[in-house]
Amino acid sequence: MPVGIVFGVLLAAAAVGPAAASTFVFVPPTQSTSQPPACKLGNVTTQLASYADWSGALVDWQFRVPASYAPRDLVPVSRAGIAGSGLIRSLVIPDLAAMTKAARSAGAPIAIESAYRSYSTQASTFNTWVNELGYERAILGSARAGHSEHQLGVAIDFKTPGAGPPWHLGGYDWATTRAGAWMVKNAWKFGFIMSYPRGRTSQVCYGYEPWHYRYFGRAQAAAIHASGETSRAWLWQQEHRVVAVPGAPVSVGPRP
């Protein structure tokens, strides 16, 4: 079954759950027409930059949100019953709580290293890594201000409770820990997708980050997972999809 149709079915099924609040309804059948642009540094405002576009906004090396972008519904992550601190958009809390409980029950408890970051905080974070690693290495593992998914308020860096930062340094791979491995296998079921998987740097621009997950809601995460695409490629394809309308010319272009 084509991914577009699968997504339509999943969206309808998810409508009864707490995470059903999906910003967009995509009309099947759809077919992608291109891959996202090659990784090239730029400063183009992303097409979907409103707070309501949280599940569709594409931010990467080239696309960004404005410096003023700061969701108004940020709440403490502690509301999800998870260890760690920080803020996250309130719409993430129900599924984050459910995932936290499921991971704990599976003997693979998770915690939060970092969540929402403002434009200014991200600027400071990026500069810290530049000072430590140099620009060329830093840009592979840290986003410039405005280009970070953390500024959207729906991205989280996870870790193991009581452990240090999960960063991929010195050969350490958080995905091989009990908590990290559980997330790789199950996070999508709760609406979370790993943004920067292993071996996909040329597609996602950043290096492997098994701790960094972005929340899309259960229906959209299931569609991304089923497609086998990275979230960056999937978002780009949804914005530049082909919509087949019986008896009419094929329409190619960005989503209205």
* 217-246 tens-digit pLDDT: 999 999 999 999 999 999 999 988 754 445
pLDDT at 235: 95
pLDDT band at 248 (very low <50, low <70, confident <90, very high): very low
pLDDT band at 27 (very low <50, low <70, confident <90, very high): very low
* 92-122 tens-digit pLDDT: 999 999 999 999 999 999 999 999 999 999 9
φ/ψ of 174, rounded to 5, equals -60, -25
Residue 236 · residue 58 · CB < 8 Å: yes
pTM equals 0.83
Distance of CA 191 to the CA centre of its chain: 9
pLDDT at 44: 95
pLDDT at 239: 85
- Among residues 184, 195, 112, the alpha carbon closest in space to that of 148 is found at 195
> What is the DSSP code (8-state) at residue 169?
-
- How far apart are alpha carbons 253 and 81 in whole angstroms? 42
Q: Where are the domains of the chain?
A: 3-252
With a pLDDT cut of 70, the percent of the chain lying above it is 80
- How far apart are alpha carbons 2 and 210 in whole angstroms? 28
pLDDT at 6: 36
- Could you tell me which residues come within 8 angstroms of residue 124 by beta carbon, excluding any fewer than 6 positions away? none
Average pLDDT over residues 124-139: 95
pLDDT at 175: 97
pLDDT at 246: 52
Asked if residue 30 has pLDDT above 80, the reply is no
pLDDT band at 247 (very low <50, low <70, confident <90, very high): low
Identify the CATH class of 3-252: alpha beta
